[in-house]
């Protein structure tokens, strides 16, 4: 069946270091992969997405990498800041639908000064 | 910046009671969604809604659940007879259009506690 999951439930990094959050997915038919950030007490917030026909996309301090061969998605955060502390979810979406998102389990990123 | 707003932020209800969770999507958005997140677990899709009807629903969204857009601004989720396992954060989301590449905007959530 469909599933999107995460390798690491918790990631602790030092402020200024780069962070890498990983995600494995199982549905080859997904068209888009999205990373969401969820701060305590808030709803998920869009960070960056990538189409299935791409392997890399960069945003401001974030990069998403997609490896369809091994069905792996990662989010790289450069120069991690305390404000990056949150739970990060990967999600997948399918064209032709109504933007239903299938979320992974989440990774907590803790940034230490 | 426009945002999705949800009320109440926390709802406590007794098992078997009906609850209505309210959402005001972003004003020019056309597609509306409810998701839920059981404590410590992943966010799960419940239902999508467009043009005054359900466009897709998950197996979680059984006949105890219903959604409605009673006026031009509100979007509600009703649970007719709450169960303990309905305790979760419920998130409303909206998008301006359909399509997998359309960014979904989420509200801050309603924490539902069934006792």
Q: pLDDT digits over B64-99, tens only?
A: 999 999 888 899 999 999 999 999 999 999 998 877
Cα A87 from Cα B41, distance rounded (Å) = 11
Q: Say yes or no: B22 contacts chain A, CB-CB below 8 A.
A: no
Residues 55-74 of A with CB under 8 A from B: none
Minimal Cα–Cα distance from A88 to chain B, Å? 10
Those residues whose C-beta lies under 8 Å from the C-beta of residue A56, and which sit 6 or more positions away, are A50, A63, A64, A65, A66
On whether the CB atoms of residues A19 and A109 are closer than 8 A, the answer is: yes
pLDDT digits (tens, 9 = 90+) for A14-50: 999 999 999 998 788 888 999 999 998 889 999 999 9
**A33 at interface of B, judged by CB pairs closer than 8 A:** no
Residue A37: predicted pLDDT: 96
pLDDT grade for A96, boundaries at 50, 70 and 90 = low
> Which chain A residues contact residue B103 at CB under 8 A?
46, 49
Which chain A positions have a beta carbon within 8 Å of B101's beta carbon?
31-32, 49, 51, 93
Contact between A43 and B106 using a beta-carbon 8 Å cutoff:
yes
Chain B positions in Cβ-Cβ contact with residue A95 (cut-off 8 Å): 99-100
Asked whether the beta carbons of B99 and B89 are under 8 A apart, the reply is no
Q: What tokens does A41 get?
A: 């007490």
């Amino acid at each position: 069946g469909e599933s999107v999951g995460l390798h690491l439930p918790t990631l602790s990094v030092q402020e200024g270091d780069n962070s890498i959050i990983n995600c494995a997915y199982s549905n080859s038919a997904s068209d888009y992969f999205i990373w969401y950030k969820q701060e305590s007490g808030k709803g998920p917030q869009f960070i960056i997405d990538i189409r299935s026909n791409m392997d890399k996309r960069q945003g401001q301090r974030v990069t998403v990498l997609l490896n369809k061969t091994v069905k792996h998605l990662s989010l790289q955060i450069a120069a991690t800041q305390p404000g990056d502390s949150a739970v990060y979810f990967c999600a997948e979406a399918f064209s032709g639908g109504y933007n239903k998102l299938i979320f992974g389990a989440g990774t907590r990123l803790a940034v230490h000064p | 910046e426009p945002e999705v707003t949800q009320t109440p932020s926390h709802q406590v209800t007794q098992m078997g009671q009906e609850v209505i969770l309210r959402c005001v999507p972003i004003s020019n958005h056309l597609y509306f969604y409810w998701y839920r997140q059981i404590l410590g677990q992943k966010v799960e899709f419940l239902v999508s809604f467009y043009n005054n009807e359900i466009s897709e629903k998950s197996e979680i969204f059984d006949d105890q659940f219903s959604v409605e857009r009673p006026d031009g601004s509100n979007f509600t989720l009703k649970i007719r007879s709450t169960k303990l396992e309905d305790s979760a954060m419920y998130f409303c989301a909206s998008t301006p259009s359909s399509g997998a590449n359309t960014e979904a905007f989420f509200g801050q959530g309603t924490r539902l506690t069934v006792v």
